Amino acid sequence: MVNTGFTTIYWRDMIRYVRFKTLLISSLVQPALWMAFFGIAMSASFDRLTTTVPTIPGVPAVGYLTFMGAGVIAMTTLFTSLFGGITILFDKNWGLMREIMASPVPREHIIFGIALSGMTKSFIQAVIIMVFGLFLGAQFFNGYTIPETFIAILGILLFVGTFSLGFLFLSAAISVSLESPEGLQGIITLLTMPIFFASNALYPIDAFPEVLQIISRINPLTYLVIGIRYFAVGDDFQSIGVHYTATSGDILVSYAALVIFALIMFSVAWWRFKKAVVT
Amino acid sequence: MNDTIIEVQGLEHRYGNFTAVDGISFSVKKGEIFSFLGPNGAGKSTAINVLTTLLRLQKGSARIAGFDLATSPGKIRESIGIVFQEVTLDRDMTCWEILEFHGRLYGMPRDERRARIDELLSLVQLETKKDALTKHLSGGMKRRLEIARGLMTRPKVLFLDEPTIGLDPQTRMRMWEYIKQVNREGTTIFLTTHYMDEADLLSDRISIIDHGKIIITGRSWELKNMLGEDLIYLETSDNDAAKDILRDMAGISEIRTKSRGLILVVNEDGTRLLPSIMEHLRTRGVTVTTVNLKKPSMDDVFVHFTGKELRDEGPEKPSVAASRSRRGRK
Q: Which residue is closest to A103 within chain B, CA to CA?
A: B77
| pLDDT for res B166 | 82
Average pLDDT, chain A: 89
How far is Cα A70 from Cα A63, in angstroms, rounded to an integer? 12
pLDDT > 60? residue A132: yes
- Tell me, what DSSP letter sits at residue A54? P
| pLDDT for res B264 | 87
- Tell me, what DSSP letter sits at residue B94? B
- Per the DSSP assignment, residues forming a β-bridge with B94 are B133
Q: Which residues of chain B have pLDDT under 50?
A: 1, 312-330
| pLDDT for res B293 | 86
Interface test with A, best of B67, B104, B319 (most A CBs within 10 A): B104
Q: Name the residue among A171, A153, A66 with its Cα closest to residue A117.
A: A171
| pLDDT for res B223 | 85
| pLDDT for res B320 | 40
Q: First-to-last CA distance in chain B?
A: 39
Q: Which residue is closest to A274 within chain B, CA to CA?
A: B56
Are A159 and A224 in contact, with CB atoms under 8 Å apart?
yes
Q: In chain B, what are the domains?
A: 4-223 (3.40.50.300), 228-295 (3.30.70.260)
How far is Cα B312 from Cα B194, in angstroms, rounded to an integer? 7
Q: Which helix (H) or strand (E) holds B2?
A: none
Q: Where are the alpha helices (DSSP H) in A137-180?
A: 146-177
| pLDDT for res B229 | 74
| pLDDT for res A21 | 84
Are A12 and A91 in contact, with CB atoms under 8 Å apart?
no
Q: What phi and psi, each to the nearest 5 degrees, are found at residue A12?
A: -65, -40
Q: A24 CA to chain B: closest CA distance, Å?
A: 14
| pLDDT for res A242 | 82
Inter-chain touch A102–B101, beta carbons under 8 Å: no
Q: Name the residue among A16, A90, A111, A5 with its Cα closest to residue B103.
A: A5
| pLDDT for res B142 | 93
Provide mean pLDDT across the span A179-201. 88
From the list A12, A16, A95, which residue is nearest B88 (CB)? A95
From the list B55, B56, B105, which residue is nearest A8 (CB)? B105
| pLDDT for res B330 | 31
Q: Does A90 touch chain B (CB under 8 A)?
A: no
- Per the DSSP assignment, residues forming a β-bridge with B34 are B190, B205
How far is Cα A13 from Cα B217, in angstroms, rounded to an integer? 45
pLDDT > 80? residue A62: yes
| pLDDT for res B309 | 64
For β-strands B33-37 and B205-210, DSSP reports them as: parallel
Which chain B positions have a beta carbon within 8 Å of A278's beta carbon? 54
From the list A19, A99, A102, which residue is nearest B92 (CB)? A19
Interface test with A, best of B101, B102, B135 (most A CBs within 10 A): B101
CB atoms within 10 A of CB B311: 9
Q: What phi and psi, each to the nearest 5 degrees, are found at residue B160?
A: -125, 115
Q: Does A102 touch chain B (CB under 8 A)?
A: yes
How far is Cα B256 from Cα A159, in angstroms, rounded to an integer? 78
Q: Does A20 touch chain B (CB under 8 A)?
A: yes
How far is Cα A148 from Cα A160, in angstroms, rounded to an integer? 18
At B284-325, the pLDDT tens digits run 888 889 998 888 888 888 888 887 765 544 444 344 433 333
At A2-31, the pLDDT tens digits run 567 899 999 999 999 888 888 888 888 888
- Per the DSSP assignment, residues forming a β-bridge with B217 are B207
Q: Which residue is closest to A16 within chain B, CA to CA?
A: B92
Inter-chain touch B84–A20, beta carbons under 8 Å: no
- For chains A and B, CB pairs below 8 A equal 71
Interface test with B, best of A1, A9, A112, A279 (most B CBs within 10 A): A279
Q: Name the residue among A38, A34, A93, A42 with its Cα closest to residue A63.
A: A42
Q: Does A55 touch chain B (CB under 8 A)?
A: no
Contacts of A171 (CB under 8 A, 6+ apart): A81, A82, A83, A84, A85, A86, A118, A184, A188
